[in-house]
Chain A
């Protein structure tokens, strides 16, 4: 019964010139996704869609029959009926029943989606203008994830790079989120500056990230794979350029990845302790500037009048180095605090770079070790704050 109905609708759709819904899933219809939730959502979506199609066929069918037959040019004489309480009651009751029938599975699914209990691990996601911060609460892995460099170059106005030549244009990041398969993962969402919304269609949902508040959601991915998404809440000029990439790995691979991340963090700490040359800092600084600063202060350090001050020729940048470190460390107004975002080496590099580029030629540098001790102070200051609460 159900099947023939489906086929009927399917045929109607084809006649309407729509391509087969099944065959071209990706471009026409909602994707089924890779979780039970996303599949349930898909089913509910299809259910309401068919309900709408049926009602539509009935209503539009009647209307077009009438338009065709009940026209003056065909000599049809207008009848003068204009009221019928019985039909009014019928077409109030029937839709109500249909709605109740739709509300039942919807309620069930909503309750299921809301239930984060029994999750096996937690990841905290923080939205920033315009990147994502991921913190694995169980094992301490922590990193930022932003648009990959190829897309970032291609998406500039007048870049002359054809987006079609860029691998996963605008849907690729420098460092993807990695999660284990067959594990119920609880996500905690918050934001550092403005609202964002974390959305991976294959997981079936998006959740808003709100500064000062924490939202929860969960997922359980069975199949290993790479799943892509985007920020879904307008968050300023680069809202379209903060994608999300989730790589689901089988447990053993995931454990390996965690190990690697820890080793990497160790190496970074070690890097901060050695002496860096001016040249080394400048090279590293350039890449950090491009990924972390250029979206506001522009590639050439010229800024944007009215909102983002220029780096080139700035008296702040060419003045006392302590002041510049302070602002970059703690943020100011719309400028985020980079103190906890960049490693000591990256931080030192970008400071050094800004003081000696775009026509700025202060000639000095700051060593990562210095930054490391400043960052340590920052952390203990924050801890003190927490103690006060």
Chain B
């Protein structure tokens, strides 16, 4: 379902991605790990077309986007992916409900009533059915991130991209977001997740990708990557995260 081949991306002289390959079936969860600055966010941003790769192709459900893809194709790829950011990036001037229905109404052309019904369903799912009328500033970080997840789900993406969704949360607030992530994985959503939560990765990942120096240095099922890493860099990295 997802097929990435030879993805390259550089910012000026900084080579960030140097030939990333990745395959993922529908309903699978892939967890991306690796040292800071190794290009994990850039990879997700390329999938979502917030960045444009310099070389390589991205295929999602038969839609192929290469470096010379036209705008329409890239927009379509973006429509197939939903992104959740480390810093939530909720729209502060809109209510929780307003955040969730914004894109369905203004991008998807859904009626307000339908969008509201959908949004309420999604908010209930992330446990915030009673916060629809609040503004983001009135919510805790964990609640905000759950709204951001509902907002991404509202566009019914085929693939969900999470970039360190719990990293900016206090440890006691992470649980509520992790629960939502587990639920989504259990529903069979196709997800790519950058995280430092190794417990979560172990539980929900179908495959773990270890990024190093702009490449996937090692990938495999969690038991293998965590239990018996092949690459010395992976070992080194995992030692660091456990201590």
Q: Are A and B part of the same complex? A: no
